[in-house]
Amino acid sequence: MRILIAEDNALLREGLVLLLAGEGHEICATVDNGTDLLPALLEHRPDAAVVDVRLPPSFRDEGLRAVVEARRQIPELPVLVLSQYVERAYAGELLAQSASGVGYLLKDRVGNTEEFLEALDRIAAGGTAMDPEVISQLMIRRAGDDPLSTLTQREREVLALMAEGQSNPVIAKSLFIAESSVNKHIGSIFTKLDLPTSASGHRRVLAVLTYLRA
């Protein structure tokens, strides 16, 4: 697929280009600052964009703002946002539009090549890829009489993986349980949290994330 890379650090940019080109992707553009990012996204309309949150000139959240604006003009443009730190506000802004084709990962994850490439494929296909750190922050936030506290330990684990955007088979594999058990847990979670049980696929992720951010 055609990928646009926005990263100001030359080492990382080159690394990403090497990695993705080596996997047979076409790098349609690389950008090293926030100012050029939005025009580049709109011009190239990549199949997926890998974007650093913090870019020159102001080194704040230029990358994120360009992505949000680009996705306003081209809805559901697949974007994988990389960040040095987990910032709930950033995740919130990204998800505010739509959870479809959105990823938010810690930069460190690029070292786990398989997962990184898999997350990229997932968002390119319209899925979601949320960093486990983000999800755990979203889950910790709630306390006391919160319905989340009625979930069992296992149900919380399933909820977290679901929120990351993982599919049922992947959830089953990473928790070493059968897929049928996953389905059972999900049903139980949706009942306890009073979510629409009919939702499936990305709508399900969306429901979970919306719930967590509420």
* Contact set with another protein (CB under 8 A): 9, 11-12, 15-16, 18-19, 22, 54, 59, 84, 107-108, 110-114, 116
Measured from the CB of residue 197, what is the shortest distance to another protein in angstroms? 38
Contact (Cβ atoms closer than 8 angstroms) between residue 8 and residue 56: yes
Q: By C-beta, is 15 or 126 nearer to another protein?
A: 15
Measured from the CB of residue 138, what is the shortest distance to another protein in angstroms? 24
Structure tokens at 89: 């506000």
User: CA-to-CA distance for 173 and 134, rounded, in angstroms?
Assistant: 21
Q: By C-beta, is 116 or 211 nearer to another protein?
A: 116
DSSP E strands in the chain: the ranges are 2-6, 26-31, 48-52, 79-83, 102-106, 128-130
Contact (Cβ atoms closer than 8 angstroms) between residue 101 and residue 76: yes
User: CA-to-CA distance for 184 and 71, rounded, in angstroms?
Assistant: 35
Measured from the CB of residue 14, what is the shortest distance to another protein in angstroms? 8
Q: By C-beta, is 110 or 162 nearer to another protein?
A: 110
Q: By C-beta, is 11 or 214 nearer to another protein?
A: 11
